[in-house]
Amino acid sequence: MSLFRQLGNVLVCVFYVWSFHLIFGYSVYGDERLELSLNGKWILQNSNGSLLFPAEVPGCVHSALLKQGFIQDIYFRFNDVAYRWIVLDNWTYTISFSPSNEAKQRVRLVFEGVDTVASIFLNGVITGNTDNMFRRYEFSVGKMLRGGENNVEVRLLSPVVYSLERSQAHSSYAVPPDCPPPVQKGECHVNFIRKAQSSFSWDWGPSFPTLGLWKGVRLEAFNVLRLIHLSAVPVYNSSLSQWVVEVEGLFDAVEQTTVRVSLSVVELWTEEAFTVRFLPGTHKCSLSLYVNQVRRVCGEGKGTAVCLCLVCFIVVSFSCEFPTQVYFRTVELVQEPIAGSPGLSFYFRINGKPIFLKGSNWIPAHALQDLVSPADVRNLLQSAVDANMNALRVWGGGVYEQDLFYDLCDEMGVMIWQDFMFACAMYPTESDFIQTIREEVIQQVRRLKSHPSVIVWSGNNENEAALATDWFKIPVVQRPQYYTDYVSLYVDNIRAIVLEEDGSRPFLVSSPTNGAESQWEGWVSRDPYNLHYGDTHYYNYTHDCWDWTALPRARFASEYGFQSWPSFSTLRKVSKPEDWSYGSTFSHHRQHHAEGNQQMLKQAGLHYHLPDSPDSLQRYKDTLYITQVMQAQCVKTQTEFYRRSQSEIIEGKGHTMGALYWQLNDIWQGPSWSSIEFGGKWKMLHYFAQEFFSPLLPVGFEDQGVLLVYAVSDLSHDLHLKAVVSVYGWSSVDAVCTVVSGTALVGGGSAVVIHKQPITALLAGCGSGSCTRLTCLMTYHLEDINGCQQGPINHLFLSSPKEAHGMLKPNITFSVQQDEVRRYTINLRSSAVAAFVWLDALDVPGRFSTNGFLMVTRNRTVTFDPWGPTSTKQLVQALTITSLRDVY
């Protein structure tokens, strides 16, 4: 299979991909592995037996109750609180089965994922315990099985009660925080249980601490040898100019067994033979295959040369096939001195080329993970790619994502910053806790390391910062204990395991961190937010977000963002008419970030008139709209600032090489920092991201009265470009005047100033008195030497829209035509310049080609791709159009 792909239309060959077969066999012994899936129907009951009903595995108690009709939509109104009884109870899953009569030497009962604390019984006899939802558990059960019917029982403890008990047992010193802030309506002590930390509540999500068998269950029987896990990680040896594929298998052997293994690269006539001796038990077998010939396939290109070779590994005398794919790419995290700046750089070099990471942060796509469908994952990742993102951070308060997620990222060229699942807390370090974490980390690294999409491991979310800046008010005398625990967990254990298991990608201890500097300071920097090092998280809801001078010129911005509300059609599904006002109990209940609702309006009020329709429902809808306008514009300003800061050092700061805003997706229908609503609908921010992450982008801003336009390029090649700046009056749809800059060389992977002009001069050039900051605004774009537009058209307001003179109601009308089987063209007609024009197809799911745009022409065409069957009539009925001037 092929190979390199375009990263956001940029010809950067990031992953080189091809598939091959790994064939393992032990035909010498005639051994056949048997597998009996225990997925499907189990029986589930609560502790007193008052509820007893069928439950699907993989699944969880909540989804089983939902399926039986015992509970309603868990996200409806206040159900996050109403259904808390579920998790305060203990639950038991049971299944009966009859295994085959064929005798095997070994039988393993395998649980791919138990959520979380359980005792497991086979035929009434305990076979083992679990305490970590991120681990696979296996139990040897051969001797316990009987002929005919057998049964497995999984007795799950309430995670909330368990966490409380663990925290009470930890009496020597506190492990904060005890509880989330009351506004989150959550549960306490989540740091005492190895489960999704956000499941007890977060500032964007509800408290649904799940219980269940969230991944598959099976019996595996074999006589000689069983392959538990296989990985293949190509590593480039630069001194030998050679790829080495590190192949690793985890085997379960019944007795001492010698196997002859051959690895071959058929197309390159490369073959190596190994003799592998397995001792009884579980062992890792590591083999290195030196790829000694490389066939160039996609040529030298303008940037990185792309090398493709077809690799085939054949392990002789095994009889089972294990097909997998090998992807070739290198990754380096570059931390080196920068001229003119204290500190160190912080950027990723992929296949030898510095890459600016553009993207967002990923959180769990549903509180009930078993309800995340493959289509949901695909749709979210496709949305990321379609918004020109090349990277996502899998945030450490959720889950290590399912295999499909990483498979798709590999395919789509999305780079993953992978956190380990620890967030915003201190953690206990008793030996059983460390032990279960060690196993979790080993398993997850082995599972994920073959994925080229994973470019960096990171120990935790914000725990270095929490310690360094004392979030939890730990008394000074006690601090050494917490520092010791921190280093023990993330350095002595997690980091040590990662270095041992995967030498192919960098490891960071936290995010944000100062990287190498944090390490020098003993792993906890005095100031992990130091802009001269590492990555930074930055949030400021009260300062005017249009003021770029207040933004941190970080090396790498891994989190920043603003909240907004999802659209009315999304909220309507989980609410009642009495909830439909900004001040309702529902609006208050859904907001999990203290003062969040007021912050949004305050920030919006700095630049826009707040909605004041006399119709309360209309005012509510308009208020949801204005929060999205605010969020989109704030994140745009900040992202453009980071992108334009990539090539310069100003006052010692700059060389910004990453912008990952908080957050991509939502876990439920509530206010959050996301750019995609629960259900997949794009917020205005996501449409903006499509533009502000575009590979070639003009960025305009004002610095002390002077307009600057930068050309930002992620392309692999240089371009000669000029900026075209057009000034429009708010009150008419014809450009007042246009200025064209001189031509500048814009190197691939750089940001350069392309136009500089005092605003007063620009306006004066439009003719005397025709334009002021209040009456006019400007658009700008880039053109190549042939006069062809390159990249999107961008715009800059010269005053707050709320102060603008001459902004008219645009009375936008539209017509809809179906042009292909499933695509609709919407022709818009406006009578005036209109800002933040928002098309909403309400309950018709789908995506517009663009949205939230500035309309400076009378006519504009937008297309709509529905995600299901619809009709022109349905779309016309559903479609609403809102612009800034329409809400007051």
Angle (nearest 5°) at CA 693 between 690 and 695: 110
341 with 653: CB under 8 angstroms? yes
- Nearer of residues 512 and 866 to ligand BMA, judged by Cβ: 512
Candidates 42, 121, 134, 202: give the one binding ligand BMA (CB under 6 A).
Answer: 202
Residue tagged active-site, from 248, 440, 462, 517 = 462
How are beta strands 16-24 and 454-458 bridged, if at all? unpaired
582 with 571: CB under 8 angstroms? no
- Nearer of residues 423 and 629 to ligand BMA, judged by Cβ: 423
Q: Output the DSSP codes for 176-238.
A: S-SS--GGG---S-GGGSBS-GGGG-BTTB------EE-S-EEEEEESSEEEEEEEEEEEEET
CA dist 477 and 174 (Å) reads 13
**Type of residue found at 91:** W
Q: How far is the CB of 538 from ligand BMA (least distance, A)?
A: 10
Q: How far is the CB of 503 from ligand BMA (least distance, A)?
A: 28
Closest among 785, 795, 793 to 744, alpha carbons compared: 785
The window from 158-166, 198-206, 331-339, 476-484 that contacts ligand BMA (CB under 6 A) reads: 198-206
Q: How far is the CB of 396 from ligand BMA (least distance, A)?
A: 8
Angle (nearest 5°) at CA 89 between 423 and 167: 40
Whether residue 149 lies in the annotated active site? no
- Nearer of residues 594 and 740 to ligand BMA, judged by Cβ: 594
Q: How far is the CB of 673 from ligand BMA (least distance, A)?
A: 6
Asked if 412 touches ligand BMA (CB under 6 A), the answer is no
Beta bridge partners, 734, equal none
Whether residue 559 lies in the annotated active site? yes
- Nearer of residues 361 and 567 to ligand BMA, judged by Cβ: 361
Angle (nearest 5°) at CA 850 between 848 and 856: 135
Candidates 461, 518, 674, 790: give the one binding ligand BMA (CB under 6 A).
Answer: 461
CA dist 4 and 10 (Å) reads 11
- Nearer of residues 203 and 246 to ligand BMA, judged by Cβ: 203
Consecutive H or E run containing 540: none
Asked if 559 touches ligand BMA (CB under 6 A), the answer is yes
The window from 185-193, 202-210, 290-298, 732-740 that contacts ligand BMA (CB under 6 A) reads: 202-210
Q: Which residue has the tokens 């005047």?
A: 737
Closest among 691, 597, 710 to 635, alpha carbons compared: 691
**852: alpha, beta or left? (left if phi > 0; alpha if psi -120 to 50):** left
Site string for ligand BMA, 369-408 (x = CB under 6 A): ----------------------------x-----------
CA dist 339 and 314 (Å) reads 50
Burial per residue of 792-806, b for 16 or more beta-carbon CB atoms within 10 angstroms, e otherwise: bbbbbbbbbbeebee
Q: Which residue has the tokens 């994502």?
A: 401
- Nearer of residues 424 and 545 to ligand BMA, judged by Cβ: 424
Asked if 517 touches ligand BMA (CB under 6 A), the answer is no
Q: How far is the CB of 336 from ligand BMA (least distance, A)?
A: 28
Q: Which of residues 534-553 bind ligand BMA (CB under 6 A)?
A: 537
Q: How far is the CB of 54 from ligand BMA (least distance, A)?
A: 36
Asked if 673 touches ligand BMA (CB under 6 A), the answer is yes
Using the Cα atoms of residue 626, residue 805, residue 791 and residue 654 in order, give the sign of their dihedral: negative
Q: How far is the CB of 593 from ligand BMA (least distance, A)?
A: 6
Candidates 15, 204, 406, 642: give the one binding ligand BMA (CB under 6 A).
Answer: 204
The window from 121-129, 196-204, 280-288, 473-481 that contacts ligand BMA (CB under 6 A) reads: 196-204
The window from 199-207, 261-269, 344-352, 375-383 that contacts ligand BMA (CB under 6 A) reads: 199-207
Q: How far is the CB of 271 from ligand BMA (least distance, A)?
A: 48
Asked if 462 touches ligand BMA (CB under 6 A), the answer is yes
Residue tagged active-site, from 559, 640, 648, 783 = 559
Q: How far is the CB of 416 from ligand BMA (least distance, A)?
A: 16
Cα dihedral value 57, 150, 131, 190, nearest 10: 40
Q: Which of residues 93-122 bind ligand BMA (CB under 6 A)?
A: none
Asked if 513 touches ligand BMA (CB under 6 A), the answer is no
Closest among 611, 608, 625 to 801, alpha carbons compared: 608
Candidates 203, 220, 579, 783: give the one binding ligand BMA (CB under 6 A).
Answer: 203
| Cis bond before residue 512 (omega within 30° of 0) | yes
How are beta strands 744-746 and 735-740 bridged, if at all? unpaired
Q: How far is the CB of 614 from ligand BMA (least distance, A)?
A: 35
Asked if 557 touches ligand BMA (CB under 6 A), the answer is no
CA dist 644 and 744 (Å) reads 15
Q: How far is the CB of 591 from ligand BMA (least distance, A)?
A: 12
348 with 333: CB under 8 angstroms? yes
- Nearer of residues 465 and 837 to ligand BMA, judged by Cβ: 465
Q: In sequence order, what are the residues at sequence separation of 6 or more whose Cβ sits closer than 8 angstroms to the Cβ of residue 220?
A: 33, 34, 35, 107, 108, 110, 226
Q: How many residues bind ligand BMA (CB under 6 A)?
A: 12
- Nearer of residues 460 and 656 to ligand BMA, judged by Cβ: 460
Q: Which of residues 415-444 bind ligand BMA (CB under 6 A)?
A: 423-424
CA dist 586 and 604 (Å) reads 21
The window from 173-181, 201-209, 801-809, 880-888 that contacts ligand BMA (CB under 6 A) reads: 201-209
Alpha-carbon distance values, 200 to 4, 81, 362, 368, 371 (Å): 41, 11, 18, 12, 18
Candidates 192, 400, 433, 662: give the one binding ligand BMA (CB under 6 A).
Answer: 662
- Nearer of residues 419 and 579 to ligand BMA, judged by Cβ: 419
- Nearer of residues 104 and 592 to ligand BMA, judged by Cβ: 592
- Nearer of residues 204 and 313 to ligand BMA, judged by Cβ: 204
Site string for ligand BMA, 146-185 (x = CB under 6 A): ----------------------------------------
- Nearer of residues 416 and 875 to ligand BMA, judged by Cβ: 416
CA dist 381 and 664 (Å) reads 10
Q: How far is the CB of 202 from ligand BMA (least distance, A)?
A: 6
Catalytic residues: 462, 559
The site for ligand BMA (CB under 6 A) is made up of 202-204, 397, 423-424, 461-462, 537, 559, 662, 673
